Structure 1
């Protein structure tokens, strides 16, 4: 499975990446909108883990581009804020499958990736 992590905090992204790679997944990390969209121009991810509040660019732009280019690719949104804590992210982003805090246990995040990113 090919996973794209879009996370502004490189240390946090690296923790998630190591957990996923231990489960046999191929993982690419991007720090912001430009690098994520550049990756998606050439490669389809089976799942995207996307920080809702990016320091460089817009998470919505990344999710919209992914939905346009690869409409079947699910997105797990992560955030360290309470914005969208009411679940309305699912009304705004058609490819949203989960919404969790950035403090999510990496093992739990890995289980969600395995569940939502199943390649059939």
Structure 2
């Protein structure tokens, strides 16, 4: 299972990556939206863990690009804000599968990603 992690805070991204790796997933961590778009152009991913609060660009652009370039990739959105807490993110992004608070324990996030990676595969 190929997972792209897009997280501006490298330490947090590495924490998520270690938990996903323990579940046998192949992960790639990027910290910038442009790097995420380059990865999505070059490599297939089944799931994308995407922080909505990216520095240096818009996570929404990354999600839009993913829906165009890799329409079967599932996106697990993570945020520390209450924006989209009404669930409207699912209306905006057909590839959205989960919307988690940034405070979600990494092992729980990994379990959610594992669930969506195996869905339909």
Q: Same fold (TM over 0.5)?
A: yes
Aligned pair count?
120
**1:2-31 superposed Cα distances (whole Å, 9 cap, x missing partner):** 100000111100000000111111110111
Q: Is the 8 A contact 1:46 1:73 kept in 2?
A: yes
- The structure 1 segments of at least 4 consecutive aligned residues displaced by more than 4 Å after TM superposition are none
Indicate the SS of the match to 2:99. strand
TM-score (norm 1): 0.97
Q: How does 1:99-114 map onto structure 2 within 5 Å?
A: 99-114=99-114
Which residue of 1 is the match for residue 81 of structure 2?
Answer: 81
State whether structure 2 residue 54 is matched by structure 1 residue 54.
yes
Which residue of 1 is the match for residue 30 of structure 2?
Answer: 30
Indicate the SS of the match to 1:8. coil
User: RMSD of the alignment, in Å?
Assistant: 0.9
- Give me the whole-angstrom Cα distance separating, in 2, the residues matched to 1:24 and 1:90: 28
Indicate the SS of the match to 1:56. coil
Return 5+ residue gaps in structure 2 as ranges: none
TM-score (norm 2): 0.96
